[in-house]
Chain A
Amino acid sequence: MAYLVMFHWGWLLGALLLGFAMGWIAVVHRGPGVSRTQAGWLGLLAAALLAAALTHLVPGRPGYWVELALLMLGPYVAGCAIGSLLRAWVVRRSVATRTS
């Protein structure tokens, strides 16, 4: 794991920034979101991939690619969370400034 992070830090940083941008947008985005059912399925998919990676179920290169996907998903989600929280905080502050 540490080896993979060291080896791919550039790509992971990219995923983090991408997530941050997406999280930043998501707070003010008016489009449709995923339903809870869909979210559940997506979670299940992620869990299945994680399980496959941990059990070394997929061999060779595809196995590595699954690990890489999961590895990039982590910083993306973290980036999204940070981006959304930060944007929400900024929005709350500006609303508070305007109302006062």
Chain B
Amino acid sequence: MDGFFKWSSKWWPGVIPLIVLWAFAAWTSTAPLEADLADRSAAALQGAVLDKTTIAVAGRDVTLGAEAFSEAARSAAVRAVDAVSGVRLVNDETRLVAEARPFVWSAERDVVRVTLAGSAPLPASKAKLTEAARGALGGVEVSDQMKLARGAPAHFDEAAVLLLGQIAKLKDGKFTISDSSVSLSGMARELGDREAIAAALKKLPEDFKIAANDLKAPPYVLQVNKDPVASTLTLSGNVPDESVHAAITAAAAGKFFSEKVVDNLKTSIGAPGGFAAAVVPALGALSRLSTGTLVVSDREVKLSGDALYDGAALQIRSGLGKDFPQNWQFKADVSVKPAVAPVDATVCQQLFSELLGKASIRFEAGKADLDPDSTGLLDRLVEIALRCPASDIEVVGHTDGDGDDESNHAMSEKRAQAVVDYLVNAGLPAARFTATGFGAAQPLVPSDSEQGKAQNRRIEFKVM
């Protein structure tokens, strides 16, 4: 045993190369060891729900920084790294994610993008909400500015996903969840979308309530364009239901005798009250214009175009608003069409005959009152009469064969006079016109059918 002690006293010279070996070992192994421990610590945290995780290794000591969403998750993360084989100790720099009071989240839509802002409870819900926004709006940029925070109400994800499902129905605006209150502002994309959003919100989780719904519907627009070149009347925009749709197209067909009606109307909810009652007289005003556009937007009616003569322009500007239901506004931007070159009596007669061949002046049934639907036609007759100022004109009334001769004669004369009155009211000299009635004495066709009777009930213009 003594020998062993003697030998061991001489082992020390080997310590010098051992120190060199140790220095080499320390020099070459430190960085790979730290990298290996960092990798395995990160792997140990793979399933943990943490934010802003940082792992720094010095020697065998791991400094773990992270924000956790619960105390249990925080301590579990520290334990997981501590349990990694090779780790000597963990410097715990983890903390809990800040709590948001109140917990506010919002999704804001503008023309080009959707911005998700405020707080989200977990990284997974953040990703889920961003994905839901992308899914709801294919191709629209989604900007994620959400921060993570604790304190979300129960079923937050469910409520936020439901709101994002409705964001495509928003033109611009904002959905906000503040604790368990939901508020909405902005404008819906299409008519009916505001109502659709309100209906969808009924499926919000029970504990959520709607604090404010300030969504506005887009303007309820109907547009009518009269194009004399193409000879078309184009109706586009919205009507509240099929019966109003039918009423408007029927009014258009009655008031516009020479234009082809192109019907591009669609049925949408949200029309202002008295819609049909405002649109029908406005169509009458448009029928008096040579070319023009009628735009009905919510409760505002805008009419622009050219009237056929000064008197018509004046009547339209001053008269139309009176026909409208309450709270409706009327704006007329009506100018007068430049006067057309005068023509001689023969051409004038030809123009009258052509026009009255296309349409007849109509009267209230059994009366001598002019049907408002014929105003457009009468204005055109005024325009022709203005082109031959030197000629006198005889306005001749005819009836069908129903009823006795005396009353038919009186009626035909009264109706011819009503037309003359209209022409004089329009500013033409009364001296140029005479009203004559022939009753049923000069039928065009036999009055043995309804069609034949309708053809015989007529007003003729004779240029003298």
List the interface of chain A (C-beta within 8 A of B): 2-4, 7-8, 11, 14-15, 18-19, 21-23, 25-27, 29, 31, 33-35, 39, 42, 56, 59-65, 67-69, 72-73, 76-77, 80-81, 84-85, 88
Contact = CB atoms under 8 A, between A and B. Distances in A.
Contacts of B6: 33
A33 to B, nearest CB: 3
A3 B11 contact: no
Interface stretch (B22-30, B117-125, B164-172, B385-393): B22-30
A26 B10 contact: yes
Contact of B10 (A31, A69, A77): A31
Contacts of B61: 59-60, 63-64
B21 A88 contact: no
B59 A26 contact: no
B85 interface: yes
B89 interface: yes
B21 A59 contact: no
A19 B410 CA distance: 144
B29 A7 contact: yes
Interface stretch (B12-20, B67-75, B284-292): B12-20
Q: Is the interface of A mostly helix, strand, loop or mixed?
A: helix
B427 interface: no
A33 B14 CA distance: 12
Nearest to B63: A60
Contact of A19 (B10, B14, B59, B85): B14
Nearest to A29: B10
A75 to B, nearest CB: 10
A66 to B, nearest CB: 9
Interface in B9-54: 9-15, 17-18, 21-22, 24-26, 29-30, 33, 36
Interface in B400-426: none
Contact of B8 (A14, A18, A26, A61): A26
A26 B234 CA distance: 115
Nearest to B84: A3
Nearest to A62: B59
Given A8-B29, A64-B59, A34 B17 contact: no
A18 B60 contact: no
Contacts of B22: 11, 65, 68-69, 72
A23 B18 CA distance: 13
A76 to B, nearest CB: 5
B86 interface: yes
16 contacts: A7-B86, A15-B21, A18-B18, A26-B10, A29-B10, A33-B9, A56-B88, A59-B59, A61-B30, A64-B30, A65-B26, A67-B88, A72-B25, A81-B4, A81-B8, A84-B8
